[in-house]
Structure 1
Amino acid sequence: MNARSGKVVSKRPKHSSTAAATHNKNLIKNEEKEDIFSKLPDELFTNIISLIPDARDAKRTCILSKRWNYIWEFLPILCFVMPFLRYNKQENEFYYDFTRCNLLPNEQVLQKFNDSVDKALALRNSKPIQKFFLCLSKDFDYSRVLNWLRIVISCLVQQLELILAASTSGYCVRFYWGILKNCDNLIELTLNGKFVLDVPESNGVLFPSLKKLILMYIIYSGENTFVNVISQCPVLEELIVKKLYYQGNDLIETFKVSSASLKSLSLSLIDYDSQVMVHDVFIDAPNLEYIYMLDEVTSEYHMTESLSLVEAHIDTSRRLLELFTSLSSIKKLTLTRQTIRALNTIHSSINVELLFPNLVKLLIGISGSWEWDFVLDFLNHMPYLKHIPFTDGLLCADQIYLQECNQLEETPPPSCLLSNVKEIVILNLDAILWEEFAFIKYLLNNANKLETLKIIAPDISPKRRAEIFSLVDPNFVVLNLFEASPSS
């Protein structure tokens, strides 16, 4: 009570800092008690976590709740990467980090990793595994890894990916192929690294359900090892192979792909040094729909024509005429700079009867203006072409031949440009030079059925923009000019 006024004055009680801290702790405890996620059934929570694309991120959710510490081990996708490995995103590969290895006690760290994998697989109690990803370093325990694979196979694994990370150049590991004998449920298999394969010939079926096979940097012990692998996959639909040829590696003289079920083939044969032996490629896949060829070593192609072939990506300078005779039915074709450069050198040898009657889209890489005449002549082999994306622009900035630009108007336009081409896309690496503008002008003057012209370049000056717009009738052609960075 106030002594002078006689009024009762109520005051707000002051909370001490100790009282506030106690109050906050009580709130946290109440929130922990009311953690709705921890109340979810294991099966429902497992389904939620399994929606996370990367299994390693799913594992990290265990820091959110003590109850979740073991939940990730029951996910349908298990991902394990050995210690001292780093991922190079640009190269899309793991490598051994020797610097980090020297800073940590190796044996303790490796033992902790091995124990964690043992525990995760032991707790599953044969619960099915959708995908198992394992990235190994040179320090892996061979017998322990084989035991992990036996457990994973017993869990009816559908996707299996094994990576042997790059370490020293001469390091390789013999892969025990017999471990995969009972993989009846396996749909996808990836072996990536210097695994030495020795697969004997067999009359049986090793992978009755395998539809996708990826073999990267594998070392084959014999000439028929690769053939024997493919022959034991009766329903294989997609095959991806990447192989380096260098001294000391296996130098198989022939590469045979024979599969009646195969629909997609990606074959990368790379010359790692200049002393490699050339070899032959045999492809017998009558139901093939897509083929990707990056080839630096082949001397001869032998390819059964597939009437179902729809798309091809060709990045090679070798035996192109033989290869093209088997690609006549395709609808979409990609030719890189290397391929166009090689075709230009054998321009006079291209048979006038070579036709791509079904081709509607050609993605093409050009090195310079000296190839423009060849490209325009080559388009005559594609009478019904409708879409032409120039994937690397129209010329190299440091190599310009003005004479060809001045003679463009005298070059007869290909029939497809006159009557069928509806879309032209130019992905320029630099600003549009006047030489390129001359070629664009030629295309626009002769593309009678053109509906869309799209040009993407790092810099399009107002003057050049106005010049291009002056060539286009907006009533018939949609013109899109985009400025983008050179890396985009």
Structure 2
Amino acid sequence: MDIISTLPLNIIETILCFLPIQDAARTSILSREWRYHWIKIPKLSFIEETFQVSTDSDELSDTGNQEMIKKRKLFDAIDHILQLHEDPIHEFTLSMVTEGTPQDFDCMMFLMLHRNTIKKLKLEFVPGYTFHLGVFASHPLTDLHLVGCSLYSEPLFEGFANLSSLYIQDVTASKETLLLILSGCPLLKNATLDIDYLTYPENDDSTVINLFEYLTMVENLTLRFGIFEYFALDDIPQKLSIALVHLKYLCLKDICFIHSCGLLIIALLIKNSPNLEKLKLEILDDSWVEIYERRDLFTLEDDSNIWLEHLNELEIVNMIYRDVELDFVKLILAKSPALKKVRILLYNEVAKDEELQISEIFKQCSHASSVVDVVVEGIRGSCTSSRCVM
């Protein structure tokens, strides 16, 4: 008995969505009934590493053209599949591992986006791809994931009116383009700006305030600290013009506590996020920071305006056994009455005895929460835990 063919159509489509697109297409030979199932699935995924492209031996005789020929045939195959596809496509993924962009890539993407009701788009490239934002003109995307490309804005681009989730990693763009994207996302709820390189004109004086004024609706935010280097940091205010009242999860990657603006940025964010529930900090190896870059550190301990009423979880990765990091954790413990869990993953050069000392320091310091678990983990897998019951 053919049990799988008796399954509801939506179940069959779900199963096909988990298959590589070539395997899904091969199901068309199973029977007349299965011939058209694959062209109706709402989710398409093209992964270059797993995509098999047939090539003639003559075409591959010139090794310099091998990758270009394979890429050309891959894009031809994608275009062919898109033309055969009948029902709406709601999610599209393309992952490339070789360099170079076919000249008609933007055209193919433009036609695909405007022929389908795609909601989620995931594009992953190696650095070097150029992507024009005009391709997205007037398209109702809700989820956009971009990795490893260069972004350019055009007059046709008017923003993402329906976008709720944005993920950008290893992307090259101007500050103007980045701010243009964020300003055109009024419904943005989840944002990951995992970039540390931006181009900008010499006379550009936009500040971190200009960045955060476009993130006021975000609930989950991940930022790489390097992004702040491209904004004017001479006068970081203590208060934003509009508080981040919707922000519940904040992750700062490659944060440097001894950087001249490290604590200033952290203070600005936690003081203006009254409903923050989880804070995660990934500390950068700051041996590169020169002595002349270090100036009088902003002391969080002296700021009575900090009160994290809703914070229930703190996680710090690569913590160093140093007063500035220890004082920060002690401050959070003293200012977070709802805190339940603190997880500290130590830097790999922290010794076992120092690990025990850190755990003891946090156990003895003041806690605003009646019950909080503080877990300190060494790089060697060791773990010390203390629970404070007030």
- Candidates 357, 361, 369, aligned match of 2:258: 369
CA separation in 1, counterparts of 2:285 and 2:238? 26
In the alignment, structure 1 residue 138 sits paired with structure 2 residue 71: yes
Letter in 1 for 2:373: L
Aligned equivalents of 2:379, 2:213: Cα separation in 1: 39
Pairwise CA RMSD: 5.3
Report Cα offsets for 1:309-346 as digits up to 9, x if no partner.
xxxxxxxx974332223334544443332145567x61
Code of the aligned partner of 1:426: E
1:437 maps to: 326
Q: Does residue 354 of the first structure (1) align with residue 241 of the second (2)? A: yes
Task: Indicate the SS of the match to 1:86.
Answer: coil
TM-score, scaled to structure 2 = 0.62
Q: Say whether the 8 Å CA contact 2:165–2:191 is kept in structure 1.
A: yes
Cross-structure match for 2:30: 70
Cα 1:318–1:86 shift into 2, 3 Å: farther
Q: In structure 2, what residue type is equivalent to 1:384?
A: P
1:392 shift after superposition: 1.0
Tell me, yes or no, if the aligned pair for 2:198 and 2:227 is still in contact at 8 Å. no
1:234-253, aligned counterparts within 5 Å?
235-242=140-147, 244-245=149-150
Among candidates 266, 274, 277, match of residue 384 of structure 1: 274
Q: Between Structure 1 and Structure 2, how many residues are aligned?
A: 343
| CA distance in 2: counterparts of 1:42 and 1:326, whole angstroms | 48
User: What letter is aligned with 1:158?
Assistant: I
Assess if the C-alpha contact under 8 Å between 2:300 and 2:331 holds in 1: no
> Is it true that 1:284 corresponds to 2:184 in the alignment?
yes
1:278–1:298: 8 Å Cα contact kept in structure 2?
yes
Deviation, structure 1 residue 355: 4.0
Which AA in structure 1 matches 2:141? L
- State the secondary structure of the residue aligned to 2:314: strand
- The equivalent of 1:210 in structure 2 is 118
Structure 1 residue 463: deviation in Å?
A: 3.3
Question: Measured at CA, do residues 254 and 399 of structure 1 come closer, stay the same or move farther in structure 2, by a change above 3 Å?
Answer: same
1:330-479 aligned within 5 A: 330-339=218-227, 346-350=233-237, 352=239, 354-356=241-243, 358-361=245-248, 362-365=250-253, 366-370=255-259, 371=261, 373-375=263-265, 377-379=267-269, 381-382=271-272, 384-387=274-277, 389-393=279-283, 396=286, 411-417=301-307, 420=309, 422-430=311-319, 432-433=321-322, 435-444=324-333, 446-447=334-335, 449-458=337-346, 461-471=355-365, 476-479=370-373
Q: What residue is the counterpart of 1:263 in the other structure?
A: 164
Q: String of CA shifts for 1:6-34, please: whole Å, max 9, x gaps.
A: xxxxxxxxxxxxxxxxxxxxxxxxxxxxx
Deviation at 1:481, TM superposition (A): 0.4
Q: Which has the larger radius of gyration?
A: 1
Amino acid aligned to 1:55: L
| Alpha-carbon distance in 1 for matches of 2:35, 2:81 | 14
The amino acid across from 2:233 in the alignment is I
CA contact (8 A) 1:269 1:297 kept: no
- Contact kept, 8 Å, 2:189 with 2:219, in 1: the verdict is no
How much does 1:414 deviate? Answer: 4.3
TM-score, with length taken from structure 1: 0.52
CA-CA distance at 1:214 after TM superposition: 4.3
Which ranges in structure 1 are unaligned for 5 or more consecutive residues? Answer: 1-38, 88-93, 111-135, 184-188, 190-205, 301-316
Give the distance between the partners of 1:254 and 1:485, measured in 2 at CA.
Answer: 50
